[in-house]
Amino acid sequence: MKKFININLAIAMIFMASCEDYLDVNTDPNNPTDATAGLVFPAATLSVVSVIGGDYALTGNIWSQYWTQNHAANQYKAIDGYNLISTFQGARFQELYAGALNDLRFVKEKATVDEDWSYYLMATVLEAYSFQILADLYDDVPFDEALQGGEGNFSPAYVNGQVIYDSLIVRLDNALAKDLSAITVTNPGTADLIFGGNMAEWVKFANTLKLKIYMRQTESRASVAQAGIDALYASNAEFLDASAAVTSFADQANASNPLFEQDRRQLNTANNLKASTTMVDYLTNNGDPRINSLYEVPANGGLITGQRQGDYELSTLDLDPDDVSRAIVTATDPVYFISDVESLFLQAEAAARGYGTGDAKTLYDAAVNASFSMYGEDASTFIAAAGLYEYPNGTLAQNIEAIIMQKWVANARINGLEAWFDHLRTGFPLESTSATTFVSGQLNYPVNGVTSGQYPRRYLYPDREVSRNANTPTQKDIHTAVWWDQ
């Protein structure tokens, strides 16, 4: 009961704050000097959750072409058509800094004084997770000097994403080196909304996050990626075999999954997000039963049906909105940081590239099995010899394509933003640049896209940050790749 109450109150506070774009990376609005780590950490966790499980999930699921804007509504046209401006999701940037990261900094400082290394590890992992997402979306972001508003630094310097990546590894290693058996260490219990105080799982979370950080660099710094991953395996690091996720949502106002809360409960229509033909076509062609857990049967009945990506002006289709399947989003959907399925795919890709000591086929098969099992389905015939998803054991490019394509499917409804980052890094699924011709098995340029066949590769710096922080870098267009996107 205590865990539910914490979530209910914290989510209510976060959603009320999210309605007002007042948070600023250069301020310190919380300053919880008298609070304990056990009180602040749940709020910090749910601050991260409100962002990655809300607007960031929305963008990721649309850009990865699981969902598209319903052609009878208007809410997400800018996202679907790549028509981004500098006010786009600026409040989420502020929430991560002035909310989540500010609170996580407090937890780390309090844990250091108390030598309570369980909280130190947990706060460091969520801090690293948040900074990686910011660096992946914006490249250069405030880092070392961030969160120093209370110390008089209102214009923190921006740090390059590659430098941030290297620093995150150092921070995670430092946290992993702490003595979790020290007498000063407390069990977080219900204050830990992810693992309920199980520190062995937090160690796995930290290791898996390191693996993900290294894997993101396979195309830009392959030697760094391999050395880091080889070192992880040499140290006998264990990776997540249970999902790092917040699961205790309830079907009631301000206590539900954040995307459900903002899209299904608070808007004047619950029909904005429809199935994208891109994913529906792929799953239908392969007879993949996971389709039934991703999309509803259309209101008019019949088979699960998608709408062309970005066809919100009905330029090429003559469909009633009720002929198109709605995306399944429920009040109790977990928000995943890293799922057990993603962990297995990360390990499979590392093995396919010759990093570490794992077996690529075994890990790939386990990952596909785990994805099917999430929805009560059986993957055995798909991954068997001559099956549609059989691991190719072919060239490196063929093996990576098989892994990333199945990871793309597996991240639908789970972590669309991660699927988008994988696409930018590896090129899979392939990109079609035509807005008029549908290409099966590829991402299809939105019918009403405004960027002439180009896909987005970054976010724009929020205009509030540009106007308030003189150190904000020159704005780049959304087609400019971040440092690891080679």
Q: Where are the domains of the chain?
A: 2-252+332-468
pLDDT in tens, 385-409: 999 999 999 999 999 999 999 999 9
Backbone angles phi, psi at 369, to 5 degrees: -55, -45
- Residue 436 corresponds to which tokens in the numbers above? 């008029």
pLDDT in tens, 244-269: 999 999 999 999 999 999 999 999 88
**Exposed (0-12), middle (13-18) or buried (19+): which is 161, by Cβ within 10 Å?**
buried
Which residues partner with 335 through β-bridges? 246
Question: CB–CB of 147/102 below 8 Å?
Answer: yes
Q: What is the mean pLDDT of residues 228-237?
A: 98
pLDDT in tens, 158-185: 999 999 999 999 999 999 999 999 999 9
Sign of the dihedral defined by the CA atoms of residues 144, 149, 152, 155, in that order? positive
pLDDT in tens, 178-232: 999 999 999 999 999 999 999 999 999 999 999 999 999 999 999 999 999 999 9
276: DSSP letter? B
pLDDT in tens, 57-102: 999 999 999 999 998 888 999 999 999 999 999 999 999 999 999 9
Q: Class of the 2-252+332-468 domain?
A: mainly alpha
